[in-house]
Amino acid sequence: MATNVVQGKDLAQQYRVGQGNLRALDGVSFELETGRSLAIVGESGCGKSTLGKIIAGIVEPTQGSVYIEGENLSQASKTEAIKLRLSVQVVQQDVYSSLNPRRRVSGILCDPMVYHRIVRNRKAAADRAAELLDMVGLSPASDFLQRFSYQMSGGQRQRVAIARALCVNPKIVVADEAVSMIDMSLRSSILNIFQRLQDDMGIAYMFITHDVALARYFARDYRTMVMYAGKVIELGPTEAVVDHPLHPYTRMLCEAVPDPDPANRHALRLVPKASDLPDLTQPDTGCRFRARCPFETSQCSNEVPILRTLGEGGHWVACHHAEEWPGMVEQAQEA
Ligand code: ADP
Ligand code: MG
């Protein structure tokens, strides 16, 4: 039976801003099985990085619990908590600020292994560092161990950042827009490295991206979770979510992806009414997406939609009109 390596339960995060509280994350629950890839999709500001930091134990949630291999992170003893935190590593977007410019690659990789007693001694750390550099495609390793980050390209730095994440033998890697700043031409090689590490080491990924096409590719064998303004609005098998979205917002995100087929470019688009995000310091009276939704009704202003299953195969959506709107779009397209 598949086991959950990560489970988030009813996670919420409020940031103090001025006189109010900004609800950056609100009631987020999800599961991630061992060795799988969960994509987390949504536009900037929807709470993706906050969620990633909570799972990695970098940010303490205002509410809710994180379970790593069944252990509650906030209730673990001090030593246990350190172990659990090490098992979740983050690879960030910004390859220019994520590596310490004053340290050589050897230090960046070896110090954490020695400090956390992953290896017996410095020599073993150096051997493992060379192995990891090989795994991320920086060969021969001896060419890279003595370099500083400014002596490497963006793609090479990101490979070092991946090797650093791996050196403490994590079970989960939070890849937060990890290829967004990488040149298109190098992206697929980095994605292939992630994939290979999953096959070889059984790593589970929380793959955070604003790009639906990337999510569809990376999480094709598992699930995609779509977030809007701090809430999960859709969650399900990646193919179902991307090809048959049940939330108008997901559909809009998918349509923002350029279609290579020119015949489809002129198909009727789901045009949003407005682009404003809701004020996250105010309590909800209804759906957070309604100001932008072409299908808004009075129910949407008065009732907060809850995440519910629709259809088969664990496809969840938080929309009052999930049953009706796809048919309305189809009709309009035929007319
Ligand atoms: P994403 O990664 O999807 O862009 P974030 O998790 O970074 O979203 O941010 C979610 C919301 O929380 C945004 O409105 C952002 O401005 C706010 N936010 C993030 N970090 C902080 C912070 N440390 N203090 C105050 N507000 C924050
Ligand atoms: Mg972010």
Distance from the alpha carbon of residue 26 to the mean position of ligand 1, in angstroms: 13
pLDDT of residue 266: 44
222 alpha carbon – ligand 2 mean position (Å): 22
| pLDDT over 70 at 256, yes or no | yes
Q: What mean pLDDT comes out for the span 43-69? A: 96
Residue 274 pLDDT > 50: yes
Residue 261: pLDDT band by 50, 70, 90 thresholds?
low
Alpha-carbon gap, residue 45 to 273, rounded angstroms? 19
* Best residue among 11, 13, 15 to mutate for probing ligand 1, ranked by most atoms within 8 Å of CB: 15
More confident residue, 318 or 259: 318
The pTM is what? 0.94
Instruction: Compute the average pLDDT of residues 14-22.
Output: 92
Give 159-162 contacts, CB < 8 A, sequence gap 24+.
159/133, 159/190, 159/193, 160/99, 160/105, 160/108, 160/109, 160/133, 160/136, 161/91, 161/92, 161/95, 161/98, 161/99, 162/91, 162/136, 162/190, 162/193, 162/194, 162/197
Distance 20 CA to ligand 1 centre (A): 14
pLDDT digits (tens, 9 = 90+) for 191-207: 999 999 999 999 999 99
Instruction: Give residue-wise pLDDT tens across range 74-89.
Output: 999 999 999 999 999 9
Residues 6+ apart with CB under 8 A from 240: 311, 313, 315
Q: Which ligand is nearest to the CA of 50?
A: 1
Is 103's pLDDT higher than 90?
yes
pLDDT of res. 114: 95
State mean pLDDT over 183-190. Answer: 88
Is the per-residue pLDDT at 321 higher than 50?
A: yes
Give me the pLDDT at residue 255, please.
84
CA–centroid distance, 213 to ligand 1, in Å, is 23
Residue with tokens 């220019």: 96
Look at 304 and 258; give whichever has higher pLDDT.
304
Specify the pLDDT at position 259: 61
- Residues with Cβ within 8 Å of 51's Cβ and at least 6 positions away in sequence, in order, are 8, 11, 13, 25, 28, 40, 206, 208, 227
Cα end-to-end span (Å), the chain:
48
pLDDT category at 332 given cuts 50, 70, 90 is confident
How big, in percent rounded to 5, are the helix, strand and coil portions of the chain? Answer: 40, 20, 40
Q: Running DSSP on this structure, what letter comes out for residue 150?
A: G
Strand 231-237 versus strand 223-228 pairing type: antiparallel
CA distance 40 to 29: 12
Q: Is the pLDDT of residue 111 over 70?
A: yes
Which of the 8 DSSP states describes residue 100? Answer: -
Of 71, 68, 108, the residue nearest 88 (C-alpha)? 68
Report whether pLDDT(5) > 90: yes
Distance from CA of residue 229 to its chain's centroid?
A: 15
Please check whether residue 326 is in contact with residue 247, taking contact to mean a CB–CB distance below 8 angstroms: no
Tokens 């035929």, located at residue: 334
Residue 264 has pLDDT above 90, yes or no: no
Residues 198 and 26: their CA atoms lie apart, in Å, by 30
Ligand 1 nearest-atom number relative to CA 49: 2
